[in-house]
Amino acid sequence: MLHTVNKSSFERNSLQSCLNTIDDTSVILLIEDGVISAANNSKSSMIADLAAAGRVFALQGDVEARGISSKLADNIKLVDYAGFVDLVVEHGTAVSWV
Amino acid sequence: MKFAIQVNEGPYQHQAADSAFQFAKAAIENGHEIMRVFFYHDGVNNASNFTLPPQDDRHVVNNWASLNIKNAEGEPELVVCVAAALRRGMLDESEATKNAIEGYNLHPAFRISGLGQLIEAGIQSDRLVVFGD
């Protein structure tokens, strides 16, 4: 499954709820304010292991709009909207965490 | 692949309306079909024909209309939830007449229908993607 998260971990606990729920094959795509969790900050440890396994993506336009391109945590994969579409196709059901 | 999209937020209020449009556009450009976009909650405001953003801003309503999402019968498949629309003052000609209200504001690229259309989209599409809170 594909899980999208659109809120910063400093604002809501939706990313944590998502992490508590997902199975071993799921991937996470951070969009909108969710990309704040892709920056190297005090919350980065939340997704470090998942990112190291290549299972965390962030929407490039939203990363750039928030000025965090140069501050990304390790192993975050950037995708554009076409990449977002491909992730939905590839991973089946898309769940939106808000 | 056949996609359906649900939009729960209004334009110029939450990024979801823009995210959903960009996703739909990318899907079409990459050879996929958007069988329906369902506008729910404040998302119904994406359908206002009275929307007039400044010239240097994006026009979210016209952006949706430009995707030209229609079914085989030529009806719009940009579908607005009727209950959400009426309580927010979003009317088509038929609802305006029925309720004895002068004027209506639904953009012609959209149509008003019920929640069953969302369920049907979930069943008939390969993927349903939800944008907004």
pLDDT digits (tens, 9 = 90+) for B84-95: 999 999 999 999
The amino acid sitting at A45 is S
| Residues spanned by the domain of A7 | 2-97
Q: How confident is the model at residue B9 (pLDDT cuts 50, 70, 90)?
A: very high
Taking each helix axis as running N to C, give the angle between helix A14-21 and helix A45-52, from 0 to 180 degrees, rounded to the nearest 10: 40
Backbone angles phi, psi at A83, to 5 degrees: -65, -35
Across the beta sheet with A77-79, what order do the strands follow? A77-79, A56-59, A27-30, A2-5, A94-97
pLDDT digits (tens, 9 = 90+) for B44-91: 999 999 999 999 999 999 999 999 999 999 999 999 999 999 999 999
Domain spans in chain B, listed from the N-terminal domain onward: 2-131
Percent above pLDDT 70 for chain B: 100
Select the CATH number that applies to the domain covering B2-131 from these four: 3.20.20.10, 3.65.10.10, 1.10.3720.10, 3.40.1260.10.
3.40.1260.10
Cα separation, B64 vs B75, in Å, equals 15
Interface test with B, best of A29, A36, A96, A97 (most B CBs within 10 A): A96
ipTM of this model?
0.97
Residue tagged active-site, from B4, B80, B81, B109: B81
CATH code for the domain in which residue A77 is found: 3.40.1260.10
Radius of gyration of chain A (CA): 12
- A56-59 and A77-79 beta bridge pairing: parallel
Taking the Cβ of residue A31 and every Cβ of chain B, the question of whether any pair is shorter than 8 Å is answered with: yes
